[in-house]
Amino acid sequence: MEYRYLGNSGLRVSVFSFGNWLNSNTQESYEITRDAIKLCFENGVNFFDTAEIYGYGEAETQMGRAFKELGLKREEIVVSTKILRSGKGVNDTFLSRKHIMEAINAQLKRLQLDYVDVLFCHRPDYDTPLEETCRAMHSVIEQGKAFYWGTSEWTADRITKALEICEKLSLHKPIVEQPQYSMFVRSKFENEYRFLFQEYKYGTTIWSPLAGGLLTGKYNEGVIPDGSRYDQKVGTMGDSRSFLDASWNQYMGPDKIEKTTKVLKGLEAIAKDLGFTQAQLAQAWAIANKDVSTCILGFTRLSQVEENLKAIELYQKWTPEIEKRITEVLGNDPEAIMDWRTWAPLTNRRQLALSAKQ
């Protein structure tokens, strides 16, 4: 396992991490959570992520119960959770001081912990003054209930404003963003966040490296297999049917399916040449970018844990030639940002982040 610093901090996290997204409160789902945490920990994973909105606290409860049952030493794990919504009350949502302070107390109780290492603001709240959110997150850290705070799916502009407010008021600054990043979802991460990485050394805990499962290899023929995520009435992460349909049509709609399946089959061929699965190729591609502090993996079956963690082996063999082959198949490099001093495009941010390894 490789460990990277989480943003501009001294906290080191495993390059692959565990995401507790299960939405069921059954004994079976708990046992999968517990056993997956155990397997991950035994394979060097030290970062475990959840959120209050996952099952409205059930995911946190399962994770806390698993930590206790497994007897994991608190100092050896890094735990993060996220604040967004805890109920249907008018103040049970988003990033007011009231909700933040009440949410973290409830989250720690469910997790059976005295503190979390990282507390995320799960989505931006444009109705609450940003200074109020920054002051509340500072208070959480000052009270010892979290060590660091971060953002999730915020715009670069919103993050920059938060950093400026914290600098001006001498508050604890956010250090990390939790964004989506995959072979299919790249522009925001590689372009919009470019200067956050460059100027602030902002960290990232990316999610959905398999683009909602599309990069697993199951859908290369453009059809939905029985029992797969897109065949469910409700997805494994609580996705509604309408959400699943919209996600599928984004890539597999009538006007896109031919192009998408061609790309998927091209990736499958590269993976086979390298002796790995298509999913492992996609996950290794994600962590080959050094702007990724850790890549969150989710599991619905225990067999997926060791299979997905093997992507670290492919990452360790990563070369410019592998990157070039994938780039040619994807054909979706984000549009270059212009350097007006030289009237020439800036080097692609991913290429700069890859060079740190190569």
Catalytic residue from among 30, 54, 181, 251:
54
By C-alpha distance, which of 38, 36, 34, 63 is closest to 49?
63
Task: Name all contacts of 163-168 with Cβ < 8 Å and 24+ positions apart.
Answer: 163/200, 165/130, 165/131, 165/134, 166/134, 166/138
DSSP per-residue codes, 198-226: HHH--EEEEB-TTGGGGGGSTTTTS---T
DSSP three-state, residue 166: helix
DSSP three-state, residue 149: strand
Q: Where are the alpha helices (DSSP H) in the chain?
A: 27-42, 58-70, 97-111, 130-142, 156-169, 187, 194-200, 241-252, 257-274, 278-287, 303-309, 311-315, 320-330, 349-355
Cα–Cα distance, 51 to 8 (Å, whole number): 23
**148 in catalytic set:** no
By C-alpha distance, which of 119, 145, 199, 135 is closest to 170?
135
Distances 270 to 10, 106, 112, 318, 329 between C-alpha atoms, Å: 37, 47, 45, 13, 9
- Apex 327 CA angle, 258 and 305, nearest 5: 85
Burial 214-237 (b: 16+ CB within 10 A, else e): bbbbbbbeeebeeeebbeeeebbb
Rg (CA), the chain: 20
DSSP code, position 22 = -
Cα–Cα distance, 25 to 75 (Å, whole number): 28
Catalytic residues: 54
